[in-house]
Amino acid sequence: MSNGNGSGLDANIALLIDADNASPEHLDEVLLVLGELGAINIRRAYGNWAKASLKGWGDLSGLHSIVPMQQFDVVKGKSATDMRMTIDAMDLLYRGSIDGFGIMSSDSDFLPLAQRIREDGLPVYGFGTAKTPLGFRQACTRFFDVAALAANQPDPDETPESTDTSVDDALLEVLGHAYKASERDEDGYTTLSELGQRAKAVSSFATRNYGYTRLSDLLRAIPNFDVKTGGDGRLRVKRLR
C-alpha cells in the first residue's frame, strides 16, 4: 500500500479531473494548492473529448502535462466519465504508490470514492464550486472552493496576506469546536497545531478558502482569537469570545 508520506513535498499526489464538472479556468489555483502538498506526478482529465465544451481542457492538457482520458457517452444524456474515473482511482489506490488524491469536481457522485480512499488512510483534496453538495465536501480531507481560491490570489502590488477576511458563523463554529476539544493550559491557550488538526478532523476546513496560506494568519485576522508565541517557541491560541 501507500508509503505513508501523506503530505510534504515528497508526497506522490494523483490529480483526477472530472472535465464535465470542472472549469479549466481554475486549474492554476488547483495546481498551486496541490503543489504545496506534494508532487503532482499523476494528472488525468476525464471526459468525452469529442465535445466542443471540453476544448478548454484540451488546450491545457499539453501545457500542464495532463493526460486526457477519453470516455464516450454510452447512452445519450448519460455520462460514463464518473465510473471510469472511479475505476482508475481504485487502481491507483491498490497500486500502493499514491500518498494522496486531488479530485477536481463539483459532482456529489464522488462522495463514496472519497470515503473509500480515506478508509485506507490517504488524504483526499477536493476542488469544486460553492454549489458542491455538502456530503462530498465533508467526505474530503480538505475541500477548496475554486472561486474563493481565484479571488484570493494576491495582487503583486499589494502586501502578502492583506486579504480582508469574512468571518462567518460557520467558520467561528468550526474553530470554536476545535478550540473546546483541544487541551489548554492554565491561561486558556492551546497549541496552534492541535487546534488546526482538530478543525480538519471534523470538517473540510481549509485556510485557503478564506484567503490565507497559514492558519496563524487567519486567526490573527479574527478578533475572537489571540495568537502568541509560547516559551517553547510554538504558536499558541486562545479564544477571547
pLDDT band at 72 (very low <50, low <70, confident <90, very high): confident
CA-to-CA distance for 188 and 82, rounded, in angstroms?
Answer: 47
pLDDT band at 157 (very low <50, low <70, confident <90, very high): very low
Domains 12-151 and 169-239 agree in fold: no
| CA 203 to each of CA 115, 135, 136: distance values in angstroms, whole numbers, following the listed order | 13, 11, 11
CATH tag for 169-239 (out of 3.40.50.300, 3.30.420.610, 3.30.465.10, 3.30.390.30):
3.30.420.610
Mean pLDDT of 32-60: 86
Long-range contacts of 228-234 (CB under 8 A, 24+ apart): 228/189, 230/189, 230/191, 234/191, 234/192, 234/193
- Bridge partners, 13 (sequence order): 40, 100
Residue 67 has a pLDDT of: 92
CATH tag for 12-151 (out of 3.20.10.10, 3.40.50.1010, 3.30.70.100, 3.10.20.520):
3.40.50.1010
How far is CA 209 from its chain centroid? 9
| CA 228 to each of CA 159, 217, 224, 231: distance values in angstroms, whole numbers, following the listed order | 22, 11, 14, 10
**Contact assessment for residue 158 and residue 141, using Cβ atoms and an 8 Å cutoff:** no
Residue 135 has a pLDDT of: 93
Domain residue ranges of the chain, discontinuous segments joined by +: 12-151, 169-239
**Contact assessment for residue 200 and residue 175, using Cβ atoms and an 8 Å cutoff:** no
Task: Quote the cell numbers at residue 3.
Answer: 508509503
Res. 156: pLDDT tops 50: no
Query: 75-97 pLDDT, tens per residue?
Result: 555 567 888 999 999 999 999 89
CA-to-CA distance for 125 and 143, rounded, in angstroms?
Answer: 6
